[in-house]
Amino acid sequence: MTSPKDEKLIRELFEAFDNDNSGSISIRELKKGLRCIGSNPSRQEIREIMNEMGVKKGQSINYQQFSNCMAKYCTDHPQTDKKTVENDLRKSFDMFDKDKSGFVEKEELRKVLTGLGEKLTPQEVDEMFKVADKNGDGRINKEEFVRLFTQDIVQR
């Protein structure tokens, strides 16, 4: 069973992955969404995820399937202590904030992720911002940054 915070996070994640606002997530949207949150699953891993959700080839994922899978993932994967992860992320924020403005802009994020070996398209960077930029100002402050990366690492 998931907490109300988990439910809210799962809903936000589903909406962020659903690029075309169709109410379902295509395989392509799933791959892009997973990449945006720092996961780069192989084709086999995508097939396993789809099978686990009960989704057949060519079908899209509805919210209930997505929610059930995410709830199971949260339960099955013991998580790192939230405070430790948050502190580590606050320290790493400076690596992303190249101009020391106190914010991470899209271009800064793209450059750092590219330097770390991530190959994100401009659309994928935009999607990452859609998830992270809660106040809609086109940049990520330290708390938004921590929240973006904590949601995938620590069970809330």
* 40 and 67 fall within a common domain: yes
* 89 and 148 fall within a common domain: yes
Contact between residue 55 and residue 61 where contact means Cβ atoms under 8 Å apart: yes
* 58 and 93 fall within a common domain: no
Domain hosting 102: range is 82-153
* 68 and 109 fall within a common domain: no
* 90 and 64 fall within a common domain: no
* 36 and 97 fall within a common domain: no
Where do runs of H (alpha helix) occur along the chain? Answer: 4-17, 27-36, 43-53, 63-76, 82-96, 106-115, 122-132, 142-153
Domain count, the chain: 2
* 15 and 48 fall within a common domain: yes
Give the C-alpha separation, 111 to 108, whole Å.
5
Name the percent of the chain lying above pLDDT 90.
10
Query: What pLDDT digit, counting tens, does each position of 112-130 carry?
Result: 776 666 677 788 878 887 8
Beta-carbon count within 10 A of 74 CB: 17
The pLDDT of residue 103 is 92
Query: What pLDDT digit, counting tens, does each position of 128-138 carry?
Result: 878 888 888 88
Confidence of residue 36 (pLDDT cuts 50, 70, 90): low
Which of 45, 76, 107 is at the close of a domain?
A: 76
Contact between residue 139 and residue 125 where contact means Cβ atoms under 8 Å apart: no
